[in-house]
Structure 1
Amino acid sequence: MRPTLLTALLLLGACAAQPSPADPHAVLQEVLDSYRANLAGMQPTTAPVLPRLEGAPERAAQLLGQSPEALRRWLGEPRLRRTEGAAQIWLYQTPFCHLDVVLDRDDAPGSPLRVSYAAARASGTERRTEAACLRQLAGGMRSAAN
Protein backbone atom coordinates (compact mmCIF):
# COMPACT_ATOMS: atom_id res chain seq x y z
CA MET A 1 0.00 0.00 0.00
CA ARG A 2 2.85 2.43 0.73
CA PRO A 3 4.22 2.41 -2.86
CA THR A 4 0.69 3.28 -4.06
CA LEU A 5 0.49 6.14 -1.58
CA LEU A 6 3.89 7.46 -2.66
CA THR A 7 2.92 7.20 -6.33
CA ALA A 8 -0.33 9.06 -5.67
CA LEU A 9 1.52 11.83 -3.82
CA LEU A 10 4.04 12.17 -6.62
CA LEU A 11 1.29 12.35 -9.25
CA LEU A 12 -0.61 14.94 -7.25
CA GLY A 13 2.61 16.90 -6.84
CA ALA A 14 2.71 17.33 -10.60
CA CYS A 15 -0.67 19.11 -10.43
CA ALA A 16 0.25 21.31 -7.45
CA ALA A 17 0.24 25.09 -7.73
CA GLN A 18 3.61 26.54 -8.56
CA PRO A 19 5.11 28.05 -5.39
CA SER A 20 8.53 29.57 -5.38
CA PRO A 21 11.31 26.98 -5.94
CA ALA A 22 12.80 27.90 -2.55
CA ASP A 23 9.67 26.82 -0.64
CA PRO A 24 9.46 22.99 -0.64
CA HIS A 25 7.13 23.11 2.38
CA ALA A 26 4.49 24.91 0.30
CA VAL A 27 4.80 22.27 -2.45
CA LEU A 28 4.32 19.43 0.04
CA GLN A 29 1.38 21.21 1.68
CA GLU A 30 -0.33 21.63 -1.71
CA VAL A 31 0.20 17.94 -2.53
CA LEU A 32 -1.17 16.85 0.85
CA ASP A 33 -4.24 19.11 0.50
CA SER A 34 -5.06 17.61 -2.90
CA TYR A 35 -4.45 14.10 -1.59
CA ARG A 36 -6.72 14.66 1.40
CA ALA A 37 -9.49 15.99 -0.86
CA ASN A 38 -9.30 12.84 -2.98
CA LEU A 39 -9.23 10.58 0.09
CA ALA A 40 -12.34 12.28 1.43
CA GLY A 41 -14.18 11.12 -1.68
CA MET A 42 -13.13 7.53 -1.14
CA GLN A 43 -14.87 7.15 2.24
CA PRO A 44 -17.46 4.35 2.24
CA THR A 45 -20.41 6.67 2.77
CA THR A 46 -23.28 7.24 0.41
CA ALA A 47 -22.48 10.27 -1.70
CA PRO A 48 -25.36 12.71 -2.18
CA VAL A 49 -26.50 13.41 -5.71
CA LEU A 50 -24.95 16.75 -6.56
CA PRO A 51 -26.49 19.36 -8.85
CA ARG A 52 -25.47 19.59 -12.47
CA LEU A 53 -22.04 21.15 -12.97
CA GLU A 54 -22.07 24.72 -14.21
CA GLY A 55 -18.68 25.44 -15.73
CA ALA A 56 -15.42 23.70 -14.95
CA PRO A 57 -14.82 22.64 -11.34
CA GLU A 58 -11.62 23.76 -9.68
CA ARG A 59 -10.96 20.36 -8.03
CA ALA A 60 -11.56 16.81 -9.22
CA ALA A 61 -13.22 16.17 -5.83
CA GLN A 62 -16.12 18.36 -7.02
CA LEU A 63 -16.99 15.54 -9.45
CA LEU A 64 -17.82 13.18 -6.57
CA GLY A 65 -21.44 12.04 -6.64
CA GLN A 66 -21.99 13.14 -10.25
CA SER A 67 -23.80 10.88 -12.72
CA PRO A 68 -22.31 9.58 -15.99
CA GLU A 69 -24.66 11.96 -17.84
CA ALA A 70 -23.26 14.96 -15.97
CA LEU A 71 -19.71 13.93 -16.89
CA ARG A 72 -20.68 13.54 -20.56
CA ARG A 73 -22.35 16.98 -20.60
CA TRP A 74 -19.21 18.55 -19.18
CA LEU A 75 -16.43 16.50 -20.81
CA GLY A 76 -17.99 14.41 -23.57
CA GLU A 77 -17.14 10.74 -23.99
CA PRO A 78 -14.02 9.44 -22.21
CA ARG A 79 -11.02 8.38 -24.26
CA LEU A 80 -10.99 5.03 -22.47
CA ARG A 81 -13.69 3.18 -20.54
CA ARG A 82 -13.06 -0.03 -18.60
CA THR A 83 -15.42 -2.15 -16.50
CA GLU A 84 -14.17 -3.62 -13.21
CA GLY A 85 -16.98 -5.71 -11.69
CA ALA A 86 -19.87 -3.32 -11.02
CA ALA A 87 -17.64 -0.24 -11.36
CA GLN A 88 -16.52 1.66 -14.45
CA ILE A 89 -13.20 3.46 -14.86
CA TRP A 90 -13.15 6.36 -17.30
CA LEU A 91 -10.03 8.15 -18.58
CA TYR A 92 -10.14 11.63 -20.08
CA GLN A 93 -6.92 12.82 -21.69
CA THR A 94 -5.30 15.72 -23.49
CA PRO A 95 -1.63 15.93 -24.42
CA PHE A 96 -0.80 17.54 -21.05
CA CYS A 97 -3.48 16.38 -18.59
CA HIS A 98 -5.32 13.21 -17.58
CA LEU A 99 -8.43 12.69 -15.49
CA ASP A 100 -9.17 9.31 -13.89
CA VAL A 101 -12.78 8.76 -12.83
CA VAL A 102 -14.27 5.74 -11.04
CA LEU A 103 -18.04 5.32 -11.16
CA ASP A 104 -19.77 2.73 -9.01
CA ARG A 105 -23.05 1.95 -7.31
CA ASP A 106 -24.17 2.05 -3.69
CA ASP A 107 -24.89 -1.29 -2.06
CA ALA A 108 -28.65 -0.75 -2.51
CA PRO A 109 -30.22 -2.77 -5.34
CA GLY A 110 -30.79 -0.73 -8.50
CA SER A 111 -28.71 2.22 -7.35
CA PRO A 112 -27.36 4.40 -10.19
CA LEU A 113 -23.72 4.83 -11.17
CA ARG A 114 -22.09 7.81 -9.44
CA VAL A 115 -18.53 9.17 -9.36
CA SER A 116 -16.80 7.77 -6.27
CA TYR A 117 -13.23 8.84 -7.15
CA ALA A 118 -11.74 11.46 -9.46
CA ALA A 119 -8.13 12.58 -9.84
CA ALA A 120 -6.65 14.99 -12.37
CA ARG A 121 -2.95 14.92 -13.10
CA ALA A 122 -0.48 16.60 -15.38
CA SER A 123 1.44 14.57 -17.92
CA GLY A 124 4.71 15.50 -19.54
CA THR A 125 7.28 17.77 -18.00
CA GLU A 126 5.24 20.95 -17.48
CA ARG A 127 3.74 21.58 -14.06
CA ARG A 128 0.01 22.33 -14.06
CA THR A 129 -2.47 22.92 -11.29
CA GLU A 130 -5.41 20.58 -10.93
CA ALA A 131 -7.78 23.42 -11.92
CA ALA A 132 -5.74 24.13 -15.07
CA CYS A 133 -5.87 20.43 -15.99
CA LEU A 134 -9.64 20.33 -15.53
CA ARG A 135 -10.12 23.47 -17.64
CA GLN A 136 -7.91 22.04 -20.37
CA LEU A 137 -9.76 18.71 -20.32
CA ALA A 138 -13.17 20.43 -20.54
CA GLY A 139 -11.96 22.73 -23.33
CA GLY A 140 -10.23 19.91 -25.20
CA MET A 141 -13.28 17.69 -25.13
CA ARG A 142 -15.59 20.48 -26.38
CA SER A 143 -13.25 21.39 -29.26
CA ALA A 144 -12.85 17.71 -30.20
CA ALA A 145 -16.66 17.48 -30.53
CA ASN A 146 -16.78 20.45 -32.97
Structure 2
Amino acid sequence: MLQGGRWGVSRILLLLGVAAALGACAATAQPPAPPVAAAPSPAILGPALRAAAGRPHPRLPETATAAALVGLSAADLTAVIGSPRWRRRESPAEVWQYQGARCVLDVFLYQEGGAARVVYAEARDESLLPVTLAACLQRIEAERRKPTPAS
Protein backbone atom coordinates (compact mmCIF):
# COMPACT_ATOMS: atom_id res chain seq x y z
CA MET A 1 0.00 0.00 0.00
CA LEU A 2 2.85 2.38 0.81
CA GLN A 3 4.41 1.84 -2.62
CA GLY A 4 1.07 2.47 -4.32
CA GLY A 5 0.80 5.77 -2.42
CA ARG A 6 4.24 6.89 -3.56
CA TRP A 7 3.41 5.94 -7.16
CA GLY A 8 0.22 8.03 -6.92
CA VAL A 9 2.14 11.09 -5.66
CA SER A 10 4.84 10.59 -8.29
CA ARG A 11 2.21 10.27 -11.00
CA ILE A 12 0.50 13.49 -9.88
CA LEU A 13 3.81 15.37 -9.77
CA LEU A 14 4.73 14.03 -13.22
CA LEU A 15 1.36 15.08 -14.65
CA LEU A 16 1.66 18.54 -13.08
CA GLY A 17 5.15 18.96 -14.56
CA VAL A 18 3.98 17.90 -18.03
CA ALA A 19 0.96 20.22 -17.80
CA ALA A 20 3.18 23.16 -16.79
CA ALA A 21 5.60 22.47 -19.64
CA LEU A 22 2.78 22.20 -22.18
CA GLY A 23 1.20 25.38 -20.85
CA ALA A 24 4.47 27.25 -21.32
CA CYS A 25 4.80 25.94 -24.87
CA ALA A 26 1.21 26.82 -25.73
CA ALA A 27 1.62 30.48 -24.79
CA THR A 28 1.96 32.55 -27.93
CA ALA A 29 4.57 35.25 -28.02
CA GLN A 30 2.95 38.61 -28.57
CA PRO A 31 5.01 41.48 -29.94
CA PRO A 32 5.71 44.00 -27.21
CA ALA A 33 3.48 47.03 -27.19
CA PRO A 34 5.26 50.27 -27.96
CA PRO A 35 6.53 51.87 -24.75
CA VAL A 36 4.35 54.64 -23.47
CA ALA A 37 6.21 57.72 -22.42
CA ALA A 38 5.24 61.20 -21.43
CA ALA A 39 5.12 63.87 -24.09
CA PRO A 40 8.36 65.80 -24.44
CA SER A 41 8.71 68.86 -22.32
CA PRO A 42 8.04 72.02 -24.32
CA ALA A 43 10.68 73.74 -22.18
CA ILE A 44 13.32 71.36 -23.55
CA LEU A 45 12.09 70.93 -27.11
CA GLY A 46 10.93 74.47 -27.84
CA PRO A 47 14.39 76.08 -27.82
CA ALA A 48 15.97 73.12 -29.61
CA LEU A 49 13.44 73.15 -32.43
CA ARG A 50 13.52 76.95 -32.75
CA ALA A 51 17.30 76.75 -32.94
CA ALA A 52 17.01 73.98 -35.52
CA ALA A 53 15.21 76.31 -37.89
CA GLY A 54 18.08 78.82 -37.95
CA ARG A 55 21.20 76.64 -37.92
CA PRO A 56 22.54 74.06 -40.31
CA HIS A 57 23.48 71.77 -37.38
CA PRO A 58 20.97 72.25 -34.56
CA ARG A 59 21.50 70.68 -31.15
CA LEU A 60 19.46 69.31 -28.31
CA PRO A 61 20.27 70.76 -24.90
CA GLU A 62 23.32 69.16 -23.28
CA THR A 63 21.06 67.82 -20.55
CA ALA A 64 18.73 66.08 -23.01
CA THR A 65 17.15 62.82 -21.97
CA ALA A 66 15.24 60.21 -23.93
CA ALA A 67 12.05 62.05 -22.96
CA ALA A 68 13.32 65.05 -24.95
CA LEU A 69 13.08 62.95 -28.11
CA VAL A 70 9.72 61.30 -27.40
CA GLY A 71 6.96 62.75 -29.54
CA LEU A 72 9.24 64.24 -32.20
CA SER A 73 8.22 63.61 -35.79
CA ALA A 74 10.71 62.04 -38.18
CA ALA A 75 11.33 65.48 -39.71
CA ASP A 76 11.89 67.09 -36.29
CA LEU A 77 14.26 64.30 -35.28
CA THR A 78 16.27 64.79 -38.48
CA ALA A 79 16.35 68.54 -37.88
CA VAL A 80 17.67 68.11 -34.34
CA ILE A 81 20.08 65.16 -34.70
CA GLY A 82 20.58 64.80 -38.43
CA SER A 83 20.14 61.80 -40.70
CA PRO A 84 20.57 58.40 -39.09
CA ARG A 85 23.39 56.07 -40.07
CA TRP A 86 20.73 53.57 -41.10
CA ARG A 87 16.98 52.95 -40.88
CA ARG A 88 15.29 49.60 -40.48
CA ARG A 89 11.62 48.63 -40.55
CA GLU A 90 10.53 46.31 -37.74
CA SER A 91 6.80 46.42 -38.25
CA PRO A 92 5.06 48.28 -36.74
CA ALA A 93 8.13 50.28 -35.76
CA GLU A 94 10.89 51.96 -37.69
CA VAL A 95 14.30 51.97 -36.00
CA TRP A 96 16.77 54.75 -36.72
CA GLN A 97 20.35 54.28 -35.57
CA TYR A 98 22.86 57.05 -34.98
CA GLN A 99 26.51 56.55 -34.12
CA GLY A 100 28.90 58.75 -32.24
CA ALA A 101 32.42 58.11 -30.99
CA ARG A 102 32.07 54.85 -29.03
CA CYS A 103 28.27 55.08 -28.67
CA VAL A 104 25.13 54.05 -30.52
CA LEU A 105 21.69 55.63 -30.26
CA ASP A 106 18.63 53.63 -31.32
CA VAL A 107 15.44 55.62 -31.84
CA PHE A 108 12.11 53.82 -32.29
CA LEU A 109 9.38 55.53 -34.29
CA TYR A 110 5.76 54.37 -34.57
CA GLN A 111 2.96 55.70 -36.75
CA GLU A 112 0.72 58.00 -34.73
CA GLY A 113 -1.99 59.97 -36.48
CA GLY A 114 -0.49 59.33 -39.91
CA ALA A 115 3.03 60.47 -38.99
CA ALA A 116 5.98 58.55 -37.59
CA ARG A 117 6.80 59.77 -34.08
CA VAL A 118 9.51 58.85 -31.59
CA VAL A 119 8.20 56.66 -28.78
CA TYR A 120 11.48 55.38 -27.33
CA ALA A 121 15.21 56.03 -27.50
CA GLU A 122 18.11 54.11 -26.02
CA ALA A 123 21.84 54.81 -25.97
CA ARG A 124 24.65 52.33 -25.36
CA ASP A 125 28.41 52.21 -25.73
CA GLU A 126 30.36 49.88 -28.02
CA SER A 127 30.42 47.13 -25.39
CA LEU A 128 26.60 47.26 -25.16
CA LEU A 129 26.64 48.95 -21.75
CA PRO A 130 24.16 51.76 -21.17
CA VAL A 131 25.40 55.31 -21.61
CA THR A 132 23.43 58.47 -20.93
CA LEU A 133 21.55 59.82 -23.88
CA ALA A 134 23.05 63.26 -23.26
CA ALA A 135 26.60 61.86 -23.47
CA CYS A 136 25.80 59.90 -26.62
CA LEU A 137 24.14 62.93 -28.25
CA GLN A 138 27.27 64.97 -27.54
CA ARG A 139 29.39 62.30 -29.24
CA ILE A 140 27.01 62.17 -32.23
CA GLU A 141 27.12 65.95 -32.50
CA ALA A 142 30.93 65.89 -32.40
CA GLU A 143 30.97 63.31 -35.21
CA ARG A 144 28.55 65.41 -37.28
CA ARG A 145 30.72 68.49 -36.92
CA LYS A 146 33.90 66.75 -38.08
CA PRO A 147 34.91 67.96 -41.53
CA THR A 148 34.32 65.41 -44.24
CA PRO A 149 37.41 64.38 -46.20
CA ALA A 150 37.57 65.75 -49.74
CA SER A 151 36.83 63.18 -52.43
Q: TM-score with structure 2 length normalisation?
A: 0.54
- Post-superposition offset of 1:112: 0.9
- Choose 1 or 2 for highest CA Rg: 2
1:131 maps to 134
Q: TM-score with structure 1 length normalisation?
A: 0.55
- From 115, 122, 125, give the equivalent of 1:112: 115
* Number of residue pairs matched by the alignment: 102
Q: Distance in 1 between matches of 2:91 and 2:109?
A: 11
With over 3 angstroms needed to count, the CA separation of the structure-2 counterparts of 1:44 and 1:96, relative to structure 1, is closer
Q: Which amino acid aligns with 2:35?
A: M
Please list, as runs of the form range in 1=range in 2, the aligned pairs for 1:1-146 lying within 5 A after superposition.
42-43=35-36, 47=39, 51=45, 54=48, 55-57=59-61, 58-106=64-112, 108=113, 111-124=114-127, 129-143=132-146
Structure 2 unaligned blocks of 5 or more: 1-33, 49-58
Larger relative contact order, structure 1 or 2 (CA cutoff 8 Å, min sep 6): 1
Identity %: 35
RMSD (Å), alpha carbons: 3.3
CA-to-aligned-CA distance 1:4-33 (integer Å, 9 cap, x gap): xxxxxxxxxxxxxxxxxxxxxxxxxxxxxx
Q: Distance in 2 between matches of 1:65 and 1:100?
A: 15
